[in-house]
Chain A
Amino acid sequence: MNLHKLSLDTIPPILTPFRFFLSALLFGVLAALLLLYSREDFWFTRWSNSNLALTHLLTIGFMLMVMMGALYQFIPVMNGQLIPGSKKLAPVIHVLMILGVLALVSGFLFSNSELFQAALAALGTASGLFALSLLPLLISRLGNQLIVYLLRVLFLVLLITLGLGLFLLLGHALPELNLPYRFYTDLHVLWGLAGWVVLIIMAVSSQVTPMFYVISEFSPRYLKILSLLIILTLVVMSFYTVFISKQSGTDSAQPFIYYTLAFLLSAELLVFVFYTLLKIAQRKRKIADVTINFYRLSMFSLLAALMLWWVAVFLPLAHLTYLLAILLIYGLAISIINGMLHKIVSFLIFLHLQKLSLKRPEAMTLVPNMKQVISTRNSQIQFMLHLLSGSLLLISVHYPALTVLAAVFMLANFCWLSWCLFQAYLLYLESRKKILACPEISMSL
């Protein structure tokens, strides 16, 4: 361990995570607007342009963008070192991500291969640069090995998901290649949702929930074994899909094997749900906290998705793919991100302002506390909007006439989140100005 490289004062500039968070919100709003524009037609086929565009606005535009911003903030706390390029490279990655998402979504909407080429270049470069920035950490032997292990696992899964995504994108960008991209779409979705989303929630829960809610540590053995099992199952499923079912020319050639693997995966996910719910129930900090509601909603969404999938094995269910997609993307992933953003952003602002006021004793009272940055009431409204919009989305799959209403509530959900975060940032700027106006004392630290 190189002691002299370590600093416990490593927090990136506030704009590093914030620029990712704020643009993620913009993509959330765009997704809701797209649903509002598409109306009932949205549920016509999962391969429709608007379907693919909206899915990627949420998964890359919102989810991946927030994850990147959060990693820039979180890694230094865990590891004592900034992600290399936190100051200069992060803004470049951020702009490339925005351009890439916009090009990809417009490519889907206008079926334009040039836009797909632009998306391929921008997203490929952005993810490559981000992966390179993380490499030193992934090969280091610094600090807590469990976190490095979890990050390695996440990195691998994200690499496969993005790799498959970029491969599919190549098929769109260069149609003359005639790549069987639809065939690989299911694998891309499987790795993205059962791999990336589940594993990142597992990793974040194990590190963050013991802090926020005073929960006993997650068992390292559970985390290691379960994440490994999930990845192994996904690998076997992928090999089976690519080499066996593709060769026999049909997905249903050996349904028994496929179902056995899928059953195994769902059992693993079920263990994850119950372990997480058990941990939440065992928390010692029992004070009412909206983020706990978001957490539970996320876990119950995954549980509902698993139940639906099991029922669908025996009984044909209409619109199963849509229901699963809503439960996994909007329910499992976005619920937890929504709740965490409320907590992380209020803390970031408090942290930066408090640090600023340390050398200015008169300014101590000017630092807003976390609940003044984003009030409990505003977080409660957020939860209600999220719950309502998610439920309406599920209902509108069966009653398409309600799509407009679902889209309006989804828009309200993302606009409210944007408003909460934006006014928090304005409060930061305002308080910062006041704090800086106070006289500074010299400190011999």
Chain B
Amino acid sequence: MSSTINLFMAAHHKECDELFAQAEQAVSEGDWEDGLFRWQAFADELEKHFTREEQILFPEFEQATGMTGGPTQMMRMEHEQMRSLVNEINKVGTARDMDQFLGLSESLMVTMQQHNMKEEQILYPMTDQSLTNAQEIIERMNQ
């Protein structure tokens, strides 16, 4: 089990990145069946990550710091941005439109990375600093 929230969540970011790269690679080679299967695996894992944050980590952080309208709200808004991109990619995936798929997946990739960077550089270190029950939170998120 990771020792800090930052390590635990950053490792999950990496896991999502790898699933994403596999899906994108398969689609770019025209292997839609494998690509869409892997895409679904990625989308599920991404949603799991968002849910962990929105339902467990962010409320804990907001309660501990009293900051309800700041960084966590911004991160929630970016989750919505990414969810809408994932939805669009699902649609063009069903239509098997490779150009649109790869254009949108590139956009999602960079949006996701910028979001991850803000979390890993700023938000997670802040949560590690302000939460005393980090281990318990990690265990709850891992269930």
Of B38-46, B51-59, B69-77, B133-141, the stretch lying at the interface with chain A is B69-77
Chain B interface residue count, Cβ-Cβ cutoff 8 angstroms: 42
Contact of A286 with B81 in the complex, beta carbons under 8 Å: no
A369 touches B100 (CB 8 A): yes
Contact present for B114 and A77 (CB under 8 Å): yes
Distance from B113 Cβ to chain A, minimum over Cβ atoms (Å) = 4
B65 within 8 A of A: yes
Q: Are A370 and B106 in contact (CB under 8 A)?
A: yes
Q: How far is the CA of A347 from the CA of B85 in the complex (A)?
A: 14
Complex CA distance for A370 and B100, rounded to whole angstroms: 10
Chain A contacts with B in 135-155, Cβ cutoff 8 A: 143-144, 147
Question: Are A354's CB and B81's CB within 8 A?
Answer: yes
Complex alpha-carbon distance, A66 and B78, angstroms:
27
Chain A interface residue bracket vs B: 35 or more
Query: A1-B126, A7-B74, A371-B99 given as contacts; is B113 within 8 A of A211 (CB)?
Result: yes
CA distance A79 to B125 in the complex (A): 12
B31 in the interface (beta carbon within 8 A)? no
Q: Contacts of A343 on B, CB cut-off 8 Å? A: 110
- Which of B99, B111, B118 is A8 in contact with, Cβ under 8 Å? B118
Q: Which residues of B contact A77 (CB under 8 A)?
A: 114, 117-118
Do B104 and A8 have beta carbons less than 8 Å apart? no
Which residue of the partner chain B has the closest CB to A143? B121
Residues of B within 8 A of A372 (CB): 103
Contact B71–A358 (Cβ < 8 Å): no
Indicate the member of A285, A343, A369, A371 with the most B CB atoms within 10 Å: A369
Most buried by B among A212, A214, A284: A214
Chain B, residue nearest A348 (CB): B110
Query: Cβ of A369: which chain B residues have Cβ within 8 Å of it?
Result: 100, 103-104, 106-107
Residues of A within 8 Å of B77, CB to CB, are 358, 445
Say yes or no: is B17 at the interface (Cβ < 8 Å to chain A).
yes
A:53-95 near B, CB below 8 Å: 77-80
State the Cβ distance, A327 to closest chain B Cβ, in Å: 30
Q: How far is the CB of B105 from chain A (nearest CB, A)?
A: 9
CB of A6 within 8 A of chain B?
A: yes
Other contacts beyond A3-B67, A4-B70, A8-B75: 7, CB < 8 A? A7-B74, A8-B70, A80-B121, A211-B116, A351-B111, A369-B104, A445-B73
Query: Which B residues lie at the A interface, using CB under 8 A?
Result: 17-18, 20-21, 24-25, 28, 65, 67, 70-71, 73-77, 80-81, 84, 88, 99-100, 102-104, 106-107, 109-111, 113-114, 116-118, 121-123, 125-126, 129-130
6 interchain pairs (CB within 8 A)? A80-B118, A211-B110, A285-B24, A287-B28, A354-B81, A371-B99
